[in-house]
Amino acid sequence: MNSTKINLITSLSIILGLCTTLPLSAQIPKDFKMINATINAKGDLVITASKTSSANDFDFLAGKWTMDNKRLKTRLNNCTEWVEYQSDDENFGPMLNGIANIDIYRTSYNQVNDKPYEGLTLRLFNPQTKLWSLYWVDSNTGVLDPPVVGSFEGSVGTFYCKDIFQGKPILVMFKWDKTDPNNPIWSQAFSPDKGKTWEMNMTNTSHRITP
């Protein structure tokens, strides 16, 4: 792509109110699909635990971490501009006889105000359904998001919920990849069309500091 074409795309993006398109090498693949989850005829989200789902699936997170984060500047409007920033996280290990864990996320980057940003995740394993429910709350809102629910299939966990974004119903997916348990990858994606297509809007790679 020559400089003339790049400038033309940039100008059109500004006119249309979109984000400036980055080179293809800077874009992140959108390889999301629903696993062990479907939308039934009534429009309900049906999630089934994998056969190997276990209360130990998140034990790998215990300890302290540094994190490399990428956040899509805007969502569900064909934006391809990513904001990159650093954070840290502390996970306190298994709790409630192994069916829960909690971690605290901290970063100086805050897209809402100039205060340091903190978030808390509570993960709960249901021994009857074999499903995990992941709850998130941050220092900007003080309100728990709807939990994403799911399980791990091997080293990859997928978790889903229904939510509302800019007044419209969406599906949310969290994806955990613990193939390398010392450098696990988390990602979030939204679907505006009941899971047919997905746009990843956040991802981070954690790097273990202490076990």
The 10s digit of each residue's pLDDT in 18-67 is: 454 333 333 344 578 999 999 999 999 999 999 999 999 999 999 999 99
Q: What is the pLDDT of residue 210?
A: 87
Confidence (pTM): 0.85
Q: Distance between alpha carbon 195 and the CA centroid of its chain, in Å? A: 15
In this prediction, the residues of the chain whose per-residue pLDDT falls under 70 are 1-30
Q: What is the pLDDT of residue 88?
A: 98
Can you say whether the dihedral through the CA atoms of 47, 172, 145, 93 is positive or negative?
A: positive
Q: What is the pLDDT of residue 95?
A: 98
Q: What is the pLDDT of residue 211?
A: 82
Architecture of domain 25-210: Beta Barrel (2.40)
Q: Is 11 exposed, middle or buried (0-12, 13-18, 19+ CB in 10 A)?
A: exposed
Give the C-alpha separation, 53 to 71, whole Å: 29
Q: Distance between alpha carbon 62 and the CA centroid of its chain, in Å? A: 19
The residue ranges of every structural domain in the chain are 25-210
